[in-house]
């Protein structure tokens, strides 16, 4: 009696399909990329790193990444624009901080410049001022030096330059009538950690009471 072939949906049929895919590095690469892209958008560099960790040969990885780029599944320029809009509005990050984050995710310099260029300088200043106002409002009643240090540290870690930060702090505190006798020296209120490269972990350390 002739042996019947198992249906395609049977365990043995599925095992054969899985075995064939396991032996095809491009199929494995596509599976890894699609799984990651289903969770969230990724840059080409992020996907390339994931394929390397998954043991995908470089030639197969390059082929799949090129194909995904051609059909628009990988679009670093769009990723960068969406990142800038989201992180500026949700975290108040500056252009400098956003650029640093995108560099760490493998986005090319020209695509970073284009993305951060969509953030108007006036909008960046307005965001910084809102951050200063919110931080100072939350520290009313504390010594002026403590209020300045906390506000300055928060904005510095978000990538805002000291000159802008202390100008805004002075303006807001003068409106409160609290800055008349206070010398705002950046060296006095900022630590080296505050003024290093911003956005190092994608989040700013919370301060007591935040």
CATH of 20-74, one of 3.90.550, 1.10.10, 1.25.40, 3.30.43: 1.10.10
Q: Is the pLDDT of residue 206 over 50?
A: no
**In whole angstroms, how far apart are CA 10 and each of 24, 55, 78?**
21, 29, 42
Q: What is the pLDDT of residue 185?
A: 58
DSSP conformation class of 183: -
Render pLDDT for 128-184 as a digit per residue (tens, 0 to 9).
Answer: 999 999 999 999 889 888 999 999 999 999 999 999 999 999 999 988 876 555 565
Predicted TM-score (pTM) of this structure: 0.73
**What span, in angstroms and rounded, lies between the C-alpha atoms of 168 and 126?**
10
Structure tokens at 89: 């509005």
Using pLDDT thresholds of 50, 70 and 90, give the confidence band for residue 9.
Answer: very low
Torsion of CA 82, 88, 91, 94, to 10 degrees: 130
Question: Cα separation of 55 and 187, whole Å?
Answer: 49
User: Could you give the CA distance from residue 120 to residue 97 in angstroms, rounded to a whole number?
Assistant: 15
In this structure, what token pair is assigned to residue 122? 């006036």
What was the pLDDT predicted at 99? 97
- From CA 28, how far away is CA 208, in angstroms rounded? 47
Residue range 16-23: average pLDDT? 50
Structure confidence at residue 126 as a pLDDT band (50, 70, 90): very high
| Nearest alpha-carbon partner for 49 in 104, 108, 128 | 104
Note the pLDDT tens digit of each residue in 56-112.
Answer: 999 999 999 999 999 999 999 999 999 999 999 999 999 999 999 999 999 999 999
Distances (CA, A) of 89 to 39, 40, 79, 95: 22, 19, 16, 12
């Amino acid at each position: 009696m002739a042996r019947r072939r198992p249906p395609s949906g049977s365990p043995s049929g599925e095992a054969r399909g899985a075995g064939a895919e396991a032996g095809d590095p491009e199929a494995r690469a596509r599976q890894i990329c699609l799984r990651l892209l289903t969770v969230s958008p990724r840059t080409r560099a992020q996907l390339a790193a994931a394929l390397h960790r998954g043991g995908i040969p470089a030639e197969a990885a390059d082929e799949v990444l090129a194909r995904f780029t051609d059909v628009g599944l990988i679009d670093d320029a769009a990723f960068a624009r969406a990142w800038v809009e989201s992180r500026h509005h949700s975290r108040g990050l500056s252009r400098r901080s956003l650029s640093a984050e995108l560099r760490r995710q493998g986005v090319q310099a020209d695509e970073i410049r284009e993305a951060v260029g969509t953030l108007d300088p006036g909008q960046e200043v307005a965001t910084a001022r809102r951050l200063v106002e919110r931080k100072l409002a939350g520290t009313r009643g504390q010594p002026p030096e403590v209020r300045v240090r906390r506000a300055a540290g928060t904005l510095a870690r978000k990538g805002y330059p000291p000159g802008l930060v202390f100008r805004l702090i002075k303006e807001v505190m003068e409106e409160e009538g609290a800055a008349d006798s206070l010398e705002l020296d950046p060296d006095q209120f900022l630590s080296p950690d505050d003024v290093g490269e911003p956005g190092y972990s994608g989040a700013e350390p919370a301060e007591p009471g935040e």
